[in-house]
Structure 1
């Protein structure tokens, strides 16, 4: 069985395989759709391009927070091919290290002084987050090279985006230097600030007001937020991304996972994706979360407008046709809507106006 590593998992695998962590095992998270007793003894670990970059021999498996966590010892496979500055990854060798995660507060004179103190052969290691936008990481590397003007090699260390990477960073830098001196001038792992990439998933019955709120939110964010905003409109997605799909449970799932995949790419590059599908099933919403969260936050908004109000707003006459039996599998009539228990915000648009709804959602986006 294979598992595609998310950004954090890939960063942790590379730390393991480079000998930059004392932790003997690696943990990966599988979708909970895999039965616990069906988890294999060995996983093939793939990067996003499908390259088998390692294997994981499972030692412990447990269900946790809606996923299956498999922990074991990683074994090297083929080198990772894609990703930011892959060929410039730092590797252990006995040489002094000056670590930076930004250049705003560390001036050229200070850098040169530090390097001179470290002596011949010193190198600069730029520390970045696995979830940092690629453009930001490359810009930091390029700027470090310009500042140094060739006086020292510049290498890259990528760490997973944990809340506190300080112990891991210090351990990795110590192992990189292989006994030589380390000067750590990092203030934290740059590039993964709160609010960088985010997906807003508005879920609710047909006619609940999801699309109206999403369009108004997009207008608000385009005026007041510097990030790029992408509105994944349900009809446009059906027409361009999911042409040919019907409305069976499996086709609905496929459509929603496609939406989540595209939204995750938007978040990965620091943007905001707004999605307003019905998304009636809890299991599929959990799968959407699994696709999004390796790249950015998912903000789940339950638009909880009562079905009576939704029917009264029914401009397309869909509820009436479903009541008459002309449409089958219609959410809220002969197909269930499973209300989310993990919503970040619940809005009833029969009680909350559009402007107020937009204000409440925008407040969650950082």
Structure 2
């Protein structure tokens, strides 16, 4: 009989909505039926969020000696790092909150490496606060890659109708185009193929976006980027038996993918891939880092400083992120 996985939930930036979406999500009995959720963060921030939401729930502080397989619905287990002041302001960029968000994630990675948790699910952090806290990373993905020694990784966004994996993410558009090279495109195609194959899809159908309008229109638009940067990667993958097609015009590829023509789309840069997913609904999107030795899922929204502390945040993306973390966690 399979044991329930332990899911480590990092609090993210506590000046944002992270504590609130965690409290709201862990009021779902279904999460406890399928897993042992353990929050890595500050217990006092969870207690504050519970009061804001008026949640009848107990926050149980634990440390590294606790049994993480012992969780009960109605009681939130918190691996309490106790890093933040009780009066941390909502909706403001804080170096303390940025550093704490990093420490929560670092601790979760250590717990995963020790085999104490089976997957990580992250609440959002604020990049400006992260930098002010002394951690110069573009976001969660890059921290996870560096701290796990992972060289080839990618961000995959998943929603019920569409999956997207990215060649580049948190860089400016000009830098992104310069960074797109055949080897990187090939590696992302392989990551897409391997990730979906492991999830049970036989010969997943992969569509690859072009860079320019109409995927360059045979040289009419751009300076031959598709021919130089993308086509060699696709041809290499095809020779290895990967079911991949492209480069295709992005403006129609995403429509075709959500219709069912493709199982996943390879996007060349951040907004090319994020836009279509978010049009389909922020509450349904989940961010998954592929290529890591650790399962990691995340909400596909930010810290929402404008509504933090008001108790009105929508927790559906966190619930979906937890569901996928549970589904992807290795069987025990």
Q: Same fold (TM over 0.5)?
A: no
Relative to its length, the structure with more helix (as a share) is 2
Highest relative contact order (Cα 8 Å, sep 6+), 1 or 2? Answer: 2
Structure-1-length-normalised TM-score = 0.27
Structure-2-length-normalised TM-score = 0.29
Which structure: larger Rg?
A: 1
